Structure 1
């Protein structure tokens, strides 16, 4: 049997992403996307027939991850299910909503954005370009992020789980997917700080709402220092109640609830393994440090990011092990759009009994003709009337009296006129069908669709889901027949009655507001405006909004150059060092990886520079070639001009190659120095300091290192408390133990005191070096990596001027005298 340390070391080596050393055409895919998938991942997971991930709980990966997972908590004593409080919110914010997915994923957030506007917020929805009209017609601002949702849906149908198929690898799907994600990450960051693409009105986000697959959310919030709130239609948080919707479990053992809990972390690890290279490269581009391999998975959970799930608790109640910053608030429904059916649809609905709706929305179907034949044959077998939605799958068939082929039509209207619904199981479509009391058959393709199919079946409102790979006319006809029974209709009606009392969008807005730090976000002068600047004078610091700062600057009450960006909700992504062995091993392995990557780049980067130059030379348009011919002709006339230019170009290429190699060597030296003086000593010191937590004792918090000053302070505290407590615990721990458990407790105390003497004193000595060095490294990085901060400041300045100048035309005019007087009052009080 392998030791815990060997499991950990193998886990770290196998889960490490490959170096990201090229452009989008040259980058190797992440480790598990290679044909030579690491044994650790092969042993742990397999793709099942229904497209989900089969997780072996007895694998080294699962056992290794369980070492780092805390015991599942139980919040049952403090949870009050169904309690909803309306939150009055006075501050008007710039809110960016970031969404990746299909039309069904975007639609709930349109409803959310419309509700947020009622509070005076400026709401911008950032998503794929193809949804621009869908968003703007609802009255929301739109920002394009790129990415092709149809291509994304096609990829997900072929690779419904986390691990892609060999067919996808051969066809280059993975590289296109990674390039698309990189494009969307850049688009999401731009959506936070760039002006409206149409109106050119400045915009800088004050808060972020996002669905988890958008991936940029936490990182954008960290760069801006603003709150972020996640919302989703699919369980994404560890729970003992049920496994991850993308996972099926085997070798569960005697405790299935613990297996459910671990399944979420396994899926998170695999997801991070596939995307860490893309995300970290993008983070470097916005001056954020790369996230270490142990911190990427479960990042939102570790940071306790507020989470609102938009489904009905009538279907899935809140698990008892979810904390208070996680809410379930009901499905998000938009106001029913005004819709007049075309004459042919109206005539079909009037021509007979209510039909069955069949459609798969934004799903891209590989063989539309085969799927259409199955649907038509099933309808004919059960003798029903049907409306078949063409959708992105391009379904269709011959004209028949009992079948109508439908284009675009809002479900909110249509589902009032049908007897039952058959669809792919998207959360929004499922919710709309159940809200109208329609029995439902779900034919899942990927993602959370099997989850919702099972939930509907458990409630009795439909049959068990039929995965699209095993769908045929016979089982579909049987499913439709079940939906047309009185029992299914009664079950769906019961759910509809419960859902009709829910106000998902309104309570989700309350959830969002309740988790915002109101006291930290308000301007000290205009409390209904968000603070974005800090201004310090005579040891007094005030928080200023955009409008207040510009007004004070116009009246020369402040020096604009002394304004500093204010972060209402700073986010710190620090490595977690659970114990000295795992933390030091992790730091050592990471340093090895950096060394190997830098060594490879010393040879690869010059070659890449040479190759790029040759490709540029060969890839010339006719116009460019003509220009070069004229230049050559002129060079010949002037003598040696052409040869001199050629020699100069060769020299430039050689110089760039040497510079690329020199930069890679510099990275090698810098990374090695940082690993030896900061990363490894810090990991060891932190791991030793946290040893008491392993046997239930409290660990002292010496503060966070953000710059060289705080590094020196934390280093001093670490040494002082480490030496003091380490020397005293040899006496204190036996005394405490004796008081609690008598002689046995005293004996335990001797052991604790002995361990404390070694770990705390060693941690203090190492910390005296590690923390100051960490602070110096952070200060240097802040000074060098400042371009993004400057861009944010510039965007804030532009928006401040824009808002101050436009405020005179608003109903809410700024009381200039009141602002100036309040500022003078604050300065005097300091």
Structure 2
């Protein structure tokens, strides 16, 4: 196995929420008996589930902050696939399966037709100017590339808001971007990640309450990301509503916020997040004794890591989706792969000269180069200038935002290695405050200093391997040694070593003065410098940020987003004309037309430029029906629990109010006696009646919710799931899956149901003749026999799909139509935010009184309506 195949890490950009990756679970569709068990004897036992959907979904708001992710070990017994989280945070994987991914077919094309995904290229004057929110979770090194991206988006005419941790507010605002705080403490998160570098936390972290704090922080950041999409600037109170989202994957809120708003989302990241046969997931350590071929092992590693990650987040995300976004919960096996399932555009910000673009990635994925910001103005302090002039060119050593348990030991290792290697060094104190209380004439400990300037003053760099720091060092032709702590730091260390620009990475737990001295000597070798210079020459030809903006524009659903009258403005309103034609309008166009009395208010509603529909994947009717029944039972269990707890809470609330009234009462006893206590008695009686009524109301509401959940589960969800299972059944015996269209309302439900009935019966009964004939033409007698079996099975299963689809799909359409008649709390919030922003736009138009623009809008309206 080559070096790239052995690379293993965790994502440095995701210290707060664990790790995630793109997925590919259809490779597991023929596997069974997935077992999960805890390795830690001190932890509680996790039950084993038989089948692919191993964790029943629970969308209850009463999730357990203390609960760890679901397992330490994963085993797919029939497939010979196992995964275990090691102490250093890497996922050890043993893949003994004989399965192979066909060479002639891209793994993605086997599930999706990505050949149709090529997006047109638009000129600079065609894309609409958008309100863009960027969700970024991580350290300063993760935020900085998105500042560079945001500045370039601003130059393109967009309004950009960067939503990240509160601590980075001045960093973001000083760059000229709008800022929105999402919460979360990156310093605490970094300390957590150093102590728990893997997907699964140590038992000590459970005991000390770290998991509870981390899960609460995740929920805080999810909510912060959502508020960043619709709330005004907290400082200026200027209104804002997102019209597109750009995010790094570990922010996790991006897709769900986009679904609630009906807007595009574009993911950008610094490490591989998409399955490929060319190298494994950076968190995966594939055991070399695996019997599967290297390409298959590489490819499956992404799905395994994603599956293990999602289990620890499903309850929090579903609770947040339900309470804050008014969205249906994501079922267990869907959440791990939504980015792939929805074919989200993805832009990777690394240099192809360091890691080439995998040949099996589809066209919705771009690799554009590292994101570099404009070099900041910097005047070095006198102490730093004097140190640089006082001797030979030093090396740089620093670990940035890493928070270490023992910075004194690290300081002593650095001082010993520098003196033994006979070099001088500039050491960044970082968040761990290296060098406190130490002094050495050959070493200068410094505070924050721009790497763009500093790396030009040194001969080589030693650091933790963050993507941005790695990129900056290589861009300046500096040989690089990486001491990884977690995340993609291991991956970048391996890539730098493979390119010859530095030694193999040294895990920080293994670092000592001896191996640091050896690394320094390797950095100072002439061939190491030559390799770094070659990479720098290639990187000089790249324009990562500019290419990323082009990628963002290229993947926008442009025609859906443009206002029909003012194409450079985004469509946010939908207006239905008298002839039932629908017109897409921007805030500005809608305001002018309303002011000119051209629109009827009853015909205007919010417009979604990118509706996201999540249809659950089914493999067969048996698993589809059983998983739906499990989901229904779990929902009923949760509702049943609330049936008893909600009335109790109402009674306790009434009791608290009575105690408050009693505590606040300072009425003189004589006065009470004169009144005969009648007022207090009436108040007490009212409180009791109110509490009893509230408790009864809560019980009735809970009972109604249980009844509605049972009816929906058995009369709607079950037949739809069974129909989808029967439609997917042909894939199991080598036939083509029966595809059904999207169902958005009662009309599409009736159409899909009718098509299901007609196509199912027709294909089922004609297939007994056509399938053998086609097989004979293609493969002779063997093809005829195979076709006969396929046709016979089609007679058995396809009419079932037809009947169930004819019943279930129209019901699903009716349900969606009825649901759309009533605005959810989230839709009400979005509408209010949109109206506030529209009012601000209208005020600006009124102040400008641009007669030429008004006439242009009226003329465009006449052309669009044919008046």
Common fold by TM > 0.5? yes
2:558 aligned to which of 518, 523, 533:
518
Q: Does 1:318 align with 2:351?
A: no
Partner of 2:583: 542
Where 1:381 maps in the other structure, the secondary structure is helix
Q: Displacement of 1:605 after TM fit?
A: 4.2
Q: How does 1:30-49 map to 2 (within 5 A)?
A: 32=70, 44-49=82-87
Q: How does 1:60-459 map to 2 (within 5 A)?
A: 71=107, 73=109, 88-90=124-126, 91-250=128-287, 252-285=290-323, 286-396=325-435, 397-459=437-499
Where 2:285 maps in the other structure, the secondary structure is strand
Contact 2:562–2:568 (CA under 8 A) maintained in structure 1: yes
Q: How does 1:354-753 map to 2 (within 5 A)?
A: 354-396=393-435, 397-537=437-577, 538-606=579-647, 627=664, 638=675, 639=677, 641-642=679-680, 645-646=683-684, 648-753=686-791
Matches of 1:355 and 1:811 in 2, distance apart?
62
Partner of 2:22: none
Q: Displacement of 1:86 after TM fit?
A: 8.5
Where 1:248 maps in the other structure, the secondary structure is strand
Matches of 1:235 and 1:812 in 2, distance apart?
49
Distance 1:174 1:613, change over 3 A: farther
Please give the per-residue CA displacement for 1:347-403, whole angstroms capped at 9, x wherever unaligned.
111111111111111111112222222222222221211111111111114222111
Matches of 2:74 and 2:297 in 1, distance apart?
23
Distance 1:491 1:262, change over 3 A: same
Q: Displacement of 1:617 after TM fit?
A: 8.7
Q: Displacement of 1:613 after TM fit?
A: 7.1
Q: Displacement of 1:316 after TM fit?
A: 0.7
Partner of 2:802: 764
Matches of 2:291 and 2:652 in 1, distance apart?
55
Q: Displacement of 1:614 after TM fit?
A: 7.4
Distance 1:78 1:756, change over 3 A: closer
2:827 aligned to which of 765, 789, 793:
789
Deviates more, 1:205-214 or 1:648-657: 648-657
Contact 2:74–2:83 (CA under 8 A) maintained in structure 1: no
Q: Displacement of 1:45 after TM fit?
A: 3.6
Q: Displacement of 1:726 after TM fit?
A: 1.6
Where 1:457 maps in the other structure, the secondary structure is helix
Distance 1:784 1:229, change over 3 A: same
Q: Displacement of 1:238 after TM fit?
A: 0.9
Where 1:422 maps in the other structure, the secondary structure is strand
Partner of 1:22: 62
Matches of 2:694 and 2:656 in 1, distance apart?
15
Matches of 1:38 and 1:322 in 2, distance apart?
27
Q: Displacement of 1:683 after TM fit?
A: 1.5
Please give the per-residue CA displacement for 1:760-797, whole angstroms capped at 9, x wherever unaligned.
11111111211122123223333345222222222222
Q: Displacement of 1:426 after TM fit?
A: 0.5
Contact 1:16–1:31 (CA under 8 A) maintained in structure 2: no
Q: Displacement of 1:248 after TM fit?
A: 1.2
Where 2:462 maps in the other structure, the secondary structure is strand
Deviates more, 1:513-522 or 1:781-790: 781-790
Matches of 1:394 and 1:670 in 2, distance apart?
58
Contact 1:87–1:513 (CA under 8 A) maintained in structure 2: no
Q: Displacement of 1:670 after TM fit?
A: 2.3
Contact 2:34–2:75 (CA under 8 A) maintained in structure 1: no
Deviates more, 1:9-18 or 1:371-380: 9-18
Contact 2:632–2:713 (CA under 8 A) maintained in structure 1: yes
Please give the per-residue CA displacement for 1:44-103, whole angstroms capped at 9, x wherever unaligned.
4433243212234359xx99x99xx9946599x999xxx998852532111111101110
Q: Displacement of 1:611 after TM fit?
A: 6.5
Where 1:552 maps in the other structure, the secondary structure is helix
Distance 1:85 1:711, change over 3 A: closer
Where 1:404 maps in the other structure, the secondary structure is strand
Contact 1:14–1:38 (CA under 8 A) maintained in structure 2: no
Matches of 1:604 and 1:110 in 2, distance apart?
47
Distance 1:758 1:391, change over 3 A: same
Distance 1:789 1:635, change over 3 A: farther
Unpaired segments ≥5 residues, structure 1: none
Please give the per-residue CA displacement for 1:110-153, whole angstroms capped at 9, x wherever unaligned.
00010111111111111111111111111111111111111111
Matches of 1:641 and 1:381 in 2, distance apart?
88
Unpaired segments ≥5 residues, structure 2: 1-28, 36-48
| Corresponding residue pairs, total | 811
Where 2:445 maps in the other structure, the secondary structure is strand
Matches of 2:483 and 2:830 in 1, distance apart?
46
Distance 1:818 1:5, change over 3 A: same
Q: Displacement of 1:645 after TM fit?
A: 4.2
Matches of 1:646 and 1:45 in 2, distance apart?
62
Distance 1:375 1:15, change over 3 A: farther
Contact 1:318–1:328 (CA under 8 A) maintained in structure 2: yes
Distance 1:287 1:494, change over 3 A: same
Distance 1:109 1:84, change over 3 A: farther
Partner of 2:859: 821
Matches of 1:475 and 1:18 in 2, distance apart?
49
Partner of 1:755: 793
Distance 1:133 1:609, change over 3 A: same
> TM-score, normalized by length of structure 2?
0.87
Aligned-pair RMSD on alpha carbons? 3.2
Q: Displacement of 1:197 after TM fit?
A: 1.9
Deviates more, 1:683-692 or 1:323-332: 683-692
Deviates more, 1:792-801 or 1:297-306: 792-801
